[in-house]
Amino acid sequence: MPNEKFNFTKAALANLPMPAKGKRNYYSDTQVKGLVVAVQVSGAVSFYVYKKIAGKPERIFLGIYPDLSVENARKLAKIKIGQIAEGSNPQEELRLIRNEMTLGDLFEQYMTRYSKLHKKSWKYDEREIPRFLSKWFKRRLSDIKKTEVQYLHELTYIENGLYQANRILERVRALYNKAIEWGWEGTNPALGIKKYKEKSRDRFIQPAEMPCIIQAISEEANITAKDFLWLLLLTGARKTNTLMMRWEELSWERSEWRIPDTKNGEPVIVPLVPRAVKLLSEREKDSNSTWVFPQDENTEKHFVNHKRAWKRILQRATIIYWKQNSKISDWVFKTEQELVLVFREDNYFNQLIKHAKADKVNLPPNLLDIRIHDIRRTFGSYQAITGASLQIIGKSLGHRSTQSTQIYARLNLDPVRAAVEKATNAMFDF
């Protein structure tokens, strides 16, 4: 390809003739074999390495003169020639970078090839990944650096909290791991970034709180929501599995509910106590849906509107709980009766709190921090309280490993307290 060879110097390069219109002139360096310059009609001079790789001539761009000096061009050329000698193809690597997929392309593949096919939580991927990563969607995978992912993790912690920060870090790591699995030859920028330490939630409905919750559920006007919550208490099943419960999954003869697809990917058999069987049989009498808990307005869809009912129940249970407190019971009863005549239920609870501040009444802790998933933990904790082994608790809750069940060994302190009292009594019994 090169027209002639000479020793590249500043003076020699400055005196190169201009090529004919539409042409380029190429010249080789006598000091470094393979180093060439290309001269364009515009007068621009560019350095290249010209070598045959796997029998095919390749021209590898190094830089533009004089931004890249002759001395540095020779050093860079030697590096590229050494890489070629070791079997590498720098030109092919450049082509791969130019053709490399963007993070947006990877996200689309991740959703269609993996998440929607294999993850029950795919909707969270579909929502959360664009929410936090869409600003990077037009960038090539190799352009996103570890420092940027680290900053995103820290910023998300500040703006959205510890758990959200850890979840988005997990999703970045998962995206890149899939890209590598599918043939991308790069490094995962989330590698080596540590998640923030998370505290496992151990809230469950305490024995003193349980009668209040039960009474509040019994008084709930939304029958579907009420029955749904009753079944959670009676089975310890997960919320999503219960919402999606179908009549075909029930065995009346064996008093069993077979959940075909659970969080851990395995079917689970749930024994149904007589109270649960009675509730379900009553619902079946009036049912014209495949769902045990259909959406009120559309029997083709399962029930989802449980949040408002649960909020009402917690507010109602809190008032019942406060009425049991001898110090404030009279005030709570009197104030509630006044507010019921003026406000809706969800409103008079807030008004009750306002009146307490105005009247300088110190209200005890409320029950509003109880989540629906805590009902499942409550089911396991009551099994522990009544002496069930961790193996039995894990089996009833469909846990794959005993690690998930360990929390129930520390949820109730009564057995520990009894053991401590017994030990101290023995120490002082002399």
Q: Which helix H or strand E contains 14, and what residues bound it?
A: helix 10-14
Can 4-99 and 207-325+364-430 be said to share one CATH topology?
no
Q: At a CB cut-off of 8 Å and minimum separation 6, what does 40 contact?
A: 19, 24, 46
What confidence score (pLDDT) does residue 71 get?
93
CA distance to 33, 224, 308, 322, 424, per residue, from 317 (Å): 86, 19, 14, 9, 38
Q: What is the amino acid identity at position 57? A: P
Q: Are strands 4-6 and 25-29 parallel, antiparallel or unpaired?
A: parallel
What confidence score (pLDDT) does residue 273 get?
86
What confidence score (pLDDT) does residue 430 get?
45
The ranges assigned to domains in the chain are: 4-99, 103-181, 207-325+364-430
pLDDT in tens, 62-78: 888 988 999 999 999 99
What confidence score (pLDDT) does residue 22 get?
81
Q: Which helix H or strand E contains 250, and what residues bound it?
A: strand 250-251
Strand order from edge to edge, sheet including 268-271: 250-251, 256-259, 268-271
d(CA 140, CA 192) in angstroms, rounded, equals: 21
What confidence score (pLDDT) does residue 242 get?
92
Banded model confidence at residue 424, pLDDT cuts 50, 70, 90: very low
d(CA 242, CA 292) in angstroms, rounded, equals: 9
CA distance to 34, 156, 199, 407, per residue, from 49 (Å): 5, 46, 57, 64
What confidence score (pLDDT) does residue 349 get?
86
Tally the residues of the chain: 430
52-61: Cβ within 8 A, 24+ apart: 53/84, 53/89, 53/91, 53/92, 54/89, 57/1, 58/89, 58/91, 59/1, 59/91, 60/90, 60/91, 60/94, 61/94
Token pair of 121 as six digits: 């939580």
Q: How many CB atoms lie within 10 A of CB 411?
A: 17
Q: Which CATH number fits domain 4-99: 3.30.160.390, 2.40.110.10, 3.90.1200.10, 3.30.70.3280?
A: 3.30.160.390
Class of domain 207-325+364-430 as given by CATH = mainly alpha
From 339, 347, 349, select the one nearest 319 (Cα to Cα). Answer: 349
Torsion angle of alpha carbons 200, 205, 208, 211, nearest 10°? 180
Check residues 171 and 205 and name the one with the higher pLDDT: 171
Handedness of CA 385, 390, 394, 400 (dihedral sign): positive
What confidence score (pLDDT) does residue 385 get?
66
> Please, what is the end-to-end C-alpha distance for the chain in angstroms?
106
- Answer whether residue 1 shows pLDDT above 60: no
What confidence score (pLDDT) does residue 407 get?
58
Token pair of 122 as six digits: 């795919």
pLDDT in tens, 303-334: 888 999 999 999 999 999 999 999 999 998 88
Q: Average pLDDT, whole number, for the chain?
A: 84
- Answer whether residue 386 shows pLDDT above 70: no
The average pLDDT across 246-271 equals: 84
